Amino acid sequence: MKILIHSELKEQQKYSCICCGAGCRSFLVAVRPEERQAIEAQENWRESLGVDELFVTHRAAGKLGFGLAKRTDGSCVFLGKDNLCVIHKKFGLKAKPLACQLYPFVLTPVGGRLHLGLRFDCPAVCENIGQNLDDHRKDLKRMARELITADIEKLELPEICPKQKVSVKFFEAINEILLKMINSDAIPLIERLQWLRKFVDYLGEIKWQNVTDENFNDLVGMIQGGLLAEIQSRQITKKAVTGKPRKLLGQIFFLLCQPTTIITTQKTGPLKTLKNRLHLTRMEKQLRQLDGPLPRIQPDWPNCNLQDLEADFGTFPAEVQQLITRYLTCRIAGMGYCGHNFYRYSLTEGIQSLLLGVVTAGWVMRIAALQAGRKKIELADAQQAVMTIDGNLGYAQAFGMGPSRMRLEYLSNHLEGFINWFCS
Ligand code: SF4
């Protein structure tokens, strides 16, 4: 399968590892049986690392069942005090599990090609540090050869909207249009987000079986142009969101702000598990309110009142708009928002989820700004916010479950107000 690095992504995104060890401290790295054997054969790691276990069983390891063991702070047992991986240091990059080598790249198979995306929960990706993406092509090709299985080649194309399918040609053409919309330089971010929102709403209303090669361009072009004119003719109303939509949005905030660090060494009996669940339920309930203390979902969040987050934080500065544009470009160019890698969502549902993600990022930016004693959003706030939500968007299981699909459908009807309030 060919790897596609989209030209728009190449233009905007760079990456080199900055050895921060952030990824090695948070996720559980799933390992294949042959990788476990190879690591065991390298040396007597238990003795040299002073640990009892190198691998653990955990639900986060998915089908593979086993993940790399962690220390009590959540860091991988192979992460050295110097923030470097000891396997990498002693035996080279290729000796590490494939998941470690690939991170923060994501390869999504669509239409017979692997579309390259990057994870923004990686600080180097989010801050756009490093080499051109083409410089990684050789390594990516090698990893892709290991990743591709017969199952991957048989994966179906995501739906365009629930219960409707289109050809690969139409699907990719629409994806291109979405990319162009989000990268229309002359238009402020808020208008581009609203344009995207409206456009996918319309895509969901088309009877796709009636669309032919002859009328596709005219139809899509007409919708695109008409919607932009409509959006630009409207006054943006910045108004706090209240009532049921805000309550359900609070649940999205809860799901997307969860810490991604998995600590496998904590022993939890049934009582502790129950207490944890109750604690999480209380935090989620609290987030549905507009008043009361901000629950500490992330341990470093400040002491503040939820009401403080409902003030007007001004407009996003240009560099924040650029970051959000780059983030959405990366997700869309890499097809990392629908299908097999994203809860099997259709294209329209995936874009609506991405927009809810950006709304959540807008809310988290306010927390970061308050923490820094400001009432204005700056780039550092936006970076922190995007890193927080991206670790969960597409990866947190609860976000894609049955009730979430219904909630997404309901919240999509309220996206206009959310975007105006949290993303302008
Ligand atoms: S094996 Fe190395 S690269 Fe992978 S998570 Fe552990 S320390 Fe990080």
What are the sequence ranges of the domains in the chain?
2-153, 158-424
Contact 95, 77 (CB under 8 A): no
Give the three-class secondary structure for 316: coil
Which ligand 1 atom sits closest to the C-alpha of 79? Answer: 7
Q: How far is CA 213 from the centre of its chain?
A: 33
Beta-ladder partners of 57: 66
pLDDT value of position 150: 66
Ligand 1 surroundings by CB, under 6 angstroms: 24, 29, 68, 76, 78-79, 85, 87-88, 96, 100
Which residue's alpha carbon is at the smallest distance from atom 4 of ligand 1?
Answer: 100
Residue to probe by mutation, ligand 1, list 18, 20, 24, most atoms within 8 Å of CB: 24
Task: With CA atoms as reference, report the closest residue to 423 among 350, 363, 375, 378.
Answer: 363
Task: With CA atoms as reference, report the closest residue to 323 among 6, 12, 2, 11.
Answer: 12
Contact 54, 79 (CB under 8 A): no
Residue to probe by mutation, ligand 1, list 48, 53, 85, 101, most atoms within 8 Å of CB: 85
Maximum C-alpha span of the chain: 69
Inter-CA distances, 362 with 5, 58, 99, 299, 324, Å: 28, 33, 30, 19, 10
pLDDT value of position 235: 84
For each successive 10 residues of the chain (424 residues), what is the average pLDDT? Answer: 95 97 92 95 96 89 86 94 95 95 95 94 98 97 86 86 96 97 94 96 96 95 92 89 95 94 76 87 93 94 95 94 98 96 95 98 97 96 98 88 86 96 93
Beta-ladder partners of 30: 67
pLDDT value of position 266: 67
CB atoms within 10 A of CB 26: 18
* CB burial readout 372-387, b (16+ within 10 A) else e: eeeeebbbebbbbbbb
Which residue's alpha carbon is at the smallest distance from atom 2 of ligand 1?
Answer: 85
pLDDT value of position 271: 86
Which ligand 1 atom sits closest to the C-alpha of 76? Answer: 6
Q: Where are the alpha helices (DSSP H) in 107-212?
A: 123-126, 137-147, 150-153, 168-182, 189-203
Residue to probe by mutation, ligand 1, list 17, 49, 68, 103, most atoms within 8 Å of CB: 68
**Cα first-last separation, the chain:** 40
Rounded Cα distance between 14 and 423, Å, is 25
C-alpha of residue 357 to centroid of ligand 1, in Å: 28
pLDDT value of position 146: 87
Give the three-class secondary structure for 132: strand
141 token code pair: 């090709």
Residue to probe by mutation, ligand 1, list 31, 77, 96, 102, most atoms within 8 Å of CB: 96
CB atoms within 10 A of CB 280: 14
C-alpha of residue 380 to centroid of ligand 1, in Å: 27
Rounded Cα distance between 354 and 361, Å, is 10
Rounded Cα distance between 412 and 201, Å, is 9
Which ligand 1 atom sits closest to the C-alpha of 88? Answer: 2
C-alpha of residue 396 to centroid of ligand 1, in Å: 21
Close Cβ partners of 315 (under 8 Å, ≥ 6 residues apart):
424
Which ligand 1 atom sits closest to the C-alpha of 21? Answer: 8
Q: Nearest 5°: CA angle at 364, between 105 and 284?
A: 100
Write out the H or E segment, with its range, that includes residue 224: helix 213-233
Which ligand 1 atom sits closest to the C-alpha of 78? Answer: 7
65 token code pair: 């069942």
